[in-house]
Amino acid sequence: MKHPGTSSGGKPRTPRNPAKSTGTGRNFRNSRTGYAYRSKTRRDPARDVAFQALRRVDQDHAYANLVLPGLIERARLHRRDAAFATELVYGTLRLQGRYDAIIGLLSDRDIAALDPELVTVLRMGIHQILQMRVEDYAAVDTMVDLARDRLSAGPAGMVNAVLRKVTEHDLSYWLDAITSGLTGEKALSRAFSYPEWIVWALRDALVATGRDAGELPGLLHAQNRPAYVTLCARPGLISADELATAAETYLDADTRLGELSDCAVVLSGGDPRRLRAVERGLAGVEDEGSQLVAKVLAAAPVTGVERTWVDLCAGPGGKTALLAGLARSRDVSVIANEVSPHRAELVRDSTKAFTDQIVQVLQGDGRDFGGLHPGKADRVLVDAPCSGLGSLRRRPEARWNKSATDLKDLTALQQDLLRSALETVKPGGVVGYATCSPHLAETRQVVETTVKNRADLRVLDAPAVAREIIVNSEHDLGPGPYLQLWPDRDGTDAMFLALIQKKSPTEAPKQSETDLEIRQ
- Annotated binding site for S-adenosyl-L-methionine, which residues? 313-319, 338, 365, 383
Question: Is residue 386 flagged as an active site residue?
Answer: no
Q: Which of 84, 80, 93 is nearest to 132 (CA)?
A: 84
For β-strands 333-338 and 283-285, DSSP reports them as: unpaired
Q: Residue 474: what residue type?
A: E
**What is the sign, positive or negative, of the torsion defined by CA atoms of 411, 414, 420, 425?**
negative
Distance in angstroms (rounded) separating the CA atoms of residues 251 and 270: 5
**Residues 6 or more apart in contact with residue 198 via CB below 8 angstroms:** 189, 389, 399, 402
Name the E strands within 276-330. Answer: 283-285, 308-311
**What is the sign, positive or negative, of the torsion defined by CA atoms of 172, 177, 182, 186?**
negative
Q: Residue 86: what residue type?
A: T
State the Cα torsion 224-179-208-473 to the nearest 10°. Answer: 40
Q: Which of 75, 91, 98, 123 is nearest to 191 (CA)?
A: 98
Which backbone phi and psi does 298 adopt, to 5 degrees? -70, -25
Instruction: Check if the beta carbon of residue 307 is closer than 8 Å to that of residue 378.
Output: yes
Which backbone phi and psi does 295 adopt, to 5 degrees? -70, -35
Which backbone phi and psi does 254 adopt, to 5 degrees? -85, 150
**Residues 6 or more apart in contact with residue 443 via CB below 8 angstroms:** 205, 435, 437, 482, 484, 496, 498
Distance in angstroms (rounded) separating the CA atoms of residues 504 and 508: 8
- Paired strand residues for 381: 311, 432
Distance in angstroms (rounded) separating the CA atoms of residues 168 and 163: 9
Distance in angstroms (rounded) separating the CA atoms of residues 513 and 102: 55
Q: Which residues are catalytic?
A: 436
